[in-house]
Amino acid sequence: MTSFTPKKILIFGGTGTIGKYITTSLLRAKPTFDQVILFTSPNGAATKKDLLSKWESDGLSIIVGNLESEADVRAAYKGVDTVISAVGRGGLQHQVDLLRWAEESDSVQWFLPSEFGTDIEHNTDKSPNEKPHQLKLKTRKFIRENIKRLKVTYVVTGPYFDMWVHTVPGLEKAGGFNPDTKEAYVIEDGGGKVGFCTMWDVGKFVVATLQHPEQAFGKALKVQSFIVSPNEVVAEYEKQTGTKWNVTKTPLSEIAALETKLWEEGNPKATSVTLRRIWAEGGTLYAKNDNEVIGLGRPEDLDSLEVGVKRGLENAWLKTDTF
């Protein structure tokens, strides 16, 4: 493929947890794309009318269809050159079909699978066996073995800082921060570094990826807003709230034992604990990230820890008027 510029973008999962940030960022991109299209279910169209109406006023096109319908998806692909999948964990099993139909499309040239989050191939010894990674690993295997024409790029962001700072109810010791009680929960001594993306920066990284196709084709781009330790996050919370916080430290071995117990019980919260254990073990760290590859190599290009904590105190990621 020579001198490709994405013009007509189709996004799946664009009203979801991270999808909202990506869709909004696509609509605000400068220079603008010729067309941004959201594929949504009938239920999504019915329950998210206000959000969709606002986006339509910003230039969004909407296709209502069934993600599992080959006819609906193939029809949506007509004339589209770039596809972004932002489906959540509940939709990951559909990505193989989405890719297969894109490969067979007359127009789709580029596909960004839903890889936003933890690096599923960070460690060759442990990553292949991590339970939360399995559907994404299946997708990558399908791509390696079956995708010949289509260009594919993974945008690997690590944990979303906006969500990481919040505790999981009942599992606080797995990590997080409670502004109401001024309680912080860290793993081990809290000194281990973690690479984060804010949710708005995920959208920014996706747009930047689309603006650098030749640099991004065929890559798993590891991108990060900032790299800090939980202790540094505690210090920033204390600075912004003007008070000392109580810090609870939990050994990694205890987190691993909790994780095993939750998986054995079939508790859906096991996924969250597994991911927090992976991050605490260094599963977001690299000799060098790929920010510069897509033109976002300066700290001022991205959100800072200060901004991330400010949003955390405001519970900004839960507010629907953000978009």
136 is catalytic: yes
Residues 6+ apart with CB under 8 A from 257: none
Q: Is the four-CA dihedral 51, 55, 57, 62 of positive or negative sign? A: negative
Straight-line distance from the first to the last Cα atom of the chain, in angstroms, rounded to the nearest whole number: 35
Backbone angles phi, psi at 72, to 5 degrees: -65, -45
Classify the phi-psi angles of 87: left when phi > 0, otherwise alpha if psi is within -120 to 50, otherwise beta.
beta
Which residues are CB-contacts of 68 (< 8 A; sequence separation ≥ 6)?
A: 94, 97
Question: CB of 146 within 8 A of CB of 106?
Answer: no
Given 8, 20, 136, 222, which residue is catalytic?
A: 136
Q: Give the helix/strand (H/E) hosting 226.
A: strand 226-228
Which residues have a catalytic role annotated?
136
